[in-house]
Chain A
Amino acid sequence: MSTQFMMLFRGTHWSKGLSPQEIQNALNRWNEWMAGLVREGKIKSAQPLVARGKIVSGKKKRIISDGPFAESKEAIAGYFLLEVKDLDEAVEIAKEVPTIEYGVSVEVRPVAPLIPENLEEFEILKHKA
């Protein structure tokens, strides 16, 4: 049985300060790594996000603000939707992300099923323990 996981990439300007050669090497490594995942059928989809947009909030009155997207270590640069066995496998994949060494961080989150099938993410477990 396989499950879906979202890999969120944070850090939009990883290439800053790298030489064209280093960038080229990083991209080539990324491409090889990604092609391997595609071949194994582990990537469902992947998309970058533009480093620009709006944040909408406010309970009563809608407040629209510019998000801190550009040039931020926190900003989400893009995502991969993985289809793999379990969280461990997804984390193993995330550990291989070639741009991590340039300061990109990767958040791995299981996609929740329509109807919950297990208890592990629920507070109930804490009461038992």
Chain B
Amino acid sequence: MDPLSNEVSSIAENLFRHESGRLISILTRIFGTDRLHLAEDVVQESLIRALQSWPYYGIPQNPVAWITQTAKNLAIDLIRREKRFRDRQPEIVRMIEESVNPLQTTVSEMHDERLRLIFVCCHPAIPQEAQIALALKTLCGFNAIEIAKAFLTTEAAINKRLVRARQSIRRLKIQFEIPQGAELAERLDAVLQTLYLLFNEGYKVSAGDNLIREELCYEAIRLTSMLAEHPAGNGPETYALLALMLLNAARLSSRVDDTGNLLRLQEQDRSTWNQIMIARGILCLSQSAAGEGLTTYHLQAAIAAVHCAAADYESTNWKQILNLYDQLVRLDDSPIVALNRAVAVAEVNGPAAGIKAVETIAKSAKLNSYYLFYAILGEFESQLGNFANAANHLRKAHRLTNVKSERMLLAKKLKEIDSNR
């Protein structure tokens, strides 16, 4: 920490974000889940101290140790001041002394604590949107402003969700523990569901800050990886979810061009797909095949894997994709899945069959306010050369979406059709 040394240490990527999650898990074990907020405050304060000191002394050789030691000091100080801790004071101080030490905590202990916090945040009795907000705040170190940006809402609304989540934890007396036995399976389902939603929030193309949305995807992958590395969470379903995330995230950067325009699958530059993530995803997919169970995660991951395996759009194995969608619609009757299946139908059996498939869905589901319904119909009609019909559908789709990138893509298609007529 000699300010006059020439050594420039730099900060590890996402240091503040990830350290915050790690330290909050450790302190929550010590303070109890009913005082989650206290753990958050101590960690927040130690990060502020870093910001007050590092600009003058330089970034320490070991920033993690610096922050940990500071959090430990602040926690002990707080325990000594707080009356309500008085009866348990020596015990808590000892716990802090023993456990808040990056050198003494083993990796597996650390993972234990993170996992416990995941189970607390993703408890099924907490409202889902509050779960996601809480996970982002405590586990991923996002602040309320960032979460608000990702969800297109206000900071106040996010803070409300966070308060509600913490109240639920207190009211339900959710323990800081990894559930066991039959409860584990049920709770794990809920955790996977929340992580899936978190990933989807980041992945889906909608308005909001793109960079933050990508971060959501990577954080979902990080948390799911943690789960997959732990004996309590390393089941086939977790690997299937992780595979699905990796195989989709690998293609994130190719979805838009330099100016932010959405690119269709056939227009994407496949050389920009992240091959390391694809390889990891394929590995996870093979690990997910361990059990009997076939979940929607398995099928979605397999579909993504087929796309990743194709060298170009033309060589995509649509038959295999259609087969997977046929299985997926049996497990998940959402019209969105059925719409996506219709695309595969059209690729295998031609656009007319695609239109038929879409019309079948339309009978049973309310899709007439959903832009993708018309966008897909427009695509099929234009493939058949029915440009007037196609233009009609595309204009409807255009009216139904507010997302700029989607509107631009539709406008581009409309222009293409006009030049064909």
In the bound complex, residues from chain A placing their C-beta under 8 Å from that of B56 are 46-48, 78-80
Interface majority SS on A: helix, strand, loop or mixed?
mixed
In the bound complex, residues from chain A placing their C-beta under 8 Å from that of B3 are 34, 38, 43, 45-47
Q: Within 8 Å of chain B (Cβ to Cβ): is A28?
A: yes
Q: Which of B5, B16, B52 is A24 in contact with, Cβ under 8 Å? A: B16
> Would you call B20 and A35 a contact (CB within 8 A)?
no
Q: Within 8 Å of chain A (Cβ to Cβ): is B142?
A: yes
> Would you call A48 and B53 a contact (CB within 8 A)?
yes
Which of the candidate stretches A14-22, A87-95, A112-120 sits at the interface with the other chain? A14-22
| B62 CB to nearest A CB, Å | 15
> Would you call B146 and A19 a contact (CB within 8 A)?
yes
Given contacts A43-B4, A45-B3, contact A27 B17 (CB under 8 A): no
Q: Within 8 Å of chain A (Cβ to Cβ): is B310?
A: no
Q: Which of A19, A34, A38, A51 is B55 in contact with, Cβ under 8 Å? A: A34
Alpha-carbon separation in the docked complex, A12 to B9 (Å)? 23
Alpha-carbon separation in the docked complex, A45 to B2 (Å)? 10
Q: Within 8 Å of chain B (Cβ to Cβ): is A82?
A: no
Q: Within 8 Å of chain B (Cβ to Cβ): is A31?
A: yes
Q: Within 8 Å of chain B (Cβ to Cβ): is A32?
A: yes
| B54 CB to nearest A CB, Å | 6
A contact residues, total (Cβ < 8 Å): 31
| A9 CB to nearest B CB, Å | 8
**Which B143-193 residues sit within 8 Å CB-CB of chain A?**
143, 145-146
Q: A residues touching B (Cβ–Cβ < 8 Å)?
A: 9, 12-15, 17, 19-21, 23-24, 27-28, 30-32, 34-35, 38-39, 43, 45-48, 51, 77-80, 99
Q: Within 8 Å of chain A (Cβ to Cβ): is B6?
A: yes
In this complex, the member of A12, A27, A39 whose beta carbon has the largest number of chain B beta carbons within 10 angstroms is A27
| A28 CB to nearest B CB, Å | 6
Alpha-carbon separation in the docked complex, A17 to B152 (Å)? 17
Given contacts A19-B142, A43-B4, A46-B3, contact A31 B10 (CB under 8 A): yes
> Would you call A19 and B53 a contact (CB within 8 A)?
no
Q: B residues touching A (Cβ–Cβ < 8 Å)?
A: 3-6, 8-11, 14-17, 20, 47-48, 51-59, 141-143, 145-146, 215
Given contacts A19-B146, A45-B3, A80-B56, 18 further A-B contacts (CB under 8 A): A12-B52, A19-B145, A21-B17, A24-B14, A24-B16, A27-B55, A28-B10, A34-B3, A35-B6, A38-B4, A38-B5, A38-B6, A39-B6, A47-B56, A48-B53, A48-B55, A51-B52, A79-B56
A-B contact pairs, 17 of them (CB 8 A): A13-B48, A20-B20, A20-B47, A20-B142, A21-B14, A24-B11, A27-B11, A27-B51, A27-B54, A31-B8, A34-B3, A39-B6, A45-B3, A46-B3, A47-B3, A48-B55, A78-B56
> Would you call B57 and A46 a contact (CB within 8 A)?
yes
Chain A residue, CB-CB nearest to B48 = A15
In the bound complex, residues from chain B placing their C-beta under 8 Å from that of A13 are 48
